[in-house]
Amino acid sequence: MAPESALTDLRLRAAAARTPPEASRIRDLLARFELERNLLVAWAQEKGLALPADDYLDRVEATHGEHHVFYDTAKERYFKITHGAEHNTPGFALTVTAEFHIGKKTQRYIGMPKLREATPFEYLARLRLFNLTFQDDVQVEGVITEPGKVAIVISQQPIEGDAATEPQVAEFMRSLGFTFVTGVYAGRRKSASYFRTSDSVAVFDTHGENFFISGSRIVPIDGLIVVAEDDLIRYLTMTPDERQAELGQ
């Protein structure tokens, strides 16, 4: 199932229940996380997308920063199972949010990028945006619904290639209309960040394990991608000197 279809179904379910989990009035992140997780589990069970934990977790071949991974030889696709901030905890990978500060010079709110655990809806929105931005075919395979192990299972086609270099990633991102954001990081240390003003899309964690060079093409296979809101846009579009003047960094 395409992430967009899954996300649309879940948002409709939330609206029907009159508890839209992404509404700004739900201030408590933990409450929102629990609400979205419960909606996700119920949706998966009703759609026939509930997956047995042992059938998937027992096949894990490697664990990375956000996913457990294995290769399915029958389907010829890589399967990824989300986990929490710690590898041995359940969860829905990571997202980039804004940590608010008051600018010393302008006295306006400025949102610095900060990593935190994603809610289920945020993770699915990220997959949708990744597919749209990079023309990928990430698919939602289902949801592990067992209490204490709830996770989203996705799949991607295998890509043969080598890790792209920073200049190769930079050239590729420029070709898509992105601008390199000097001195701003979220994800792996010193991993470049990019911003596109036309649609406010920001991409972080663009190191070589997430961007492959396959033949003559750059192929992104992962990355932290969000639609930035106004306060984060303000930070991403500052010059290094402006950030220093406003925030001392």
Q: What angle do CA 119, 155, 158 make, to 5 degrees?
A: 135
- CA-based nearest residue to 183, from 122, 113, 131: 113
Q: What is the predicted pLDDT for the residue at 21?
A: 54
Q: What is the predicted pLDDT for the residue at 105?
A: 86
Decide: residue 242, CB within 10 A, 0-12 exposed, 13-18 middle, 19+ buried: middle
**76-85, 102-111, 197-206: least confidently modelled range:** 102-111
**pTM greater than 0.85 (yes/no):** yes
pLDDT digits (tens, 9 = 90+) for 2-30: 999 999 999 998 888 766 555 544 468 88
Decide: residue 2, CB within 10 A, 0-12 exposed, 13-18 middle, 19+ buried: middle
Q: What is the pLDDT of the chain when averaged over all its residues?
A: 93
Q: What is the predicted pLDDT for the residue at 246?
A: 87
Ranges of each domain in the chain: 3-247
For the beta sheet containing 62-63, the strands, ordered from the edge strand earlier in sequence to the opposite edge, are 50-51, 139-144, 151-156, 77-82, 67-72, 62-63
- CA-based nearest residue to 154, from 6, 12, 21: 6
Sign of the four-CA dihedral 72, 59, 189, 89: positive
